[in-house]
Amino acid sequence: MLESDRCIECGVDTKKEGYVNRVSYETDTVDAYKCGPCMDTQDGLQLHDQEGNFDGFDEDKYDEYLAERIKYIDAKYPEAKKFREEVNDAEV
């Protein structure tokens, strides 16, 4: 099992950045986190039906956010890309 303090989405080390509001992320192959910025963005893009019930989230806007976040993180923390690749390999 791949265990890490990194964000499953952007790859940032949550001990260095994004610690506040981070959320555990665990599957059969990965035990990591979703950092505060990724979690807050996902929460902010939630969609609701007419009765106010949760109905998913705006994946297109999240994908846009994540592309920009990854550019920022990779420029600041180059090792983040390697972690994201390891996650992809572990979950295949």
pLDDT in tens, 75-91: 999 999 999 999 999 98
Alpha helices by DSSP H, 6-46? 36-44
pTM of the shown model = 0.90
Q: How many C-beta atoms lie closer than 10 Å to residue 58's C-beta?
A: 14
51 secondary structure, DSSP code = T
Contact predicate 13/5, CB 8 Å: yes
pLDDT at 14 over 80: yes
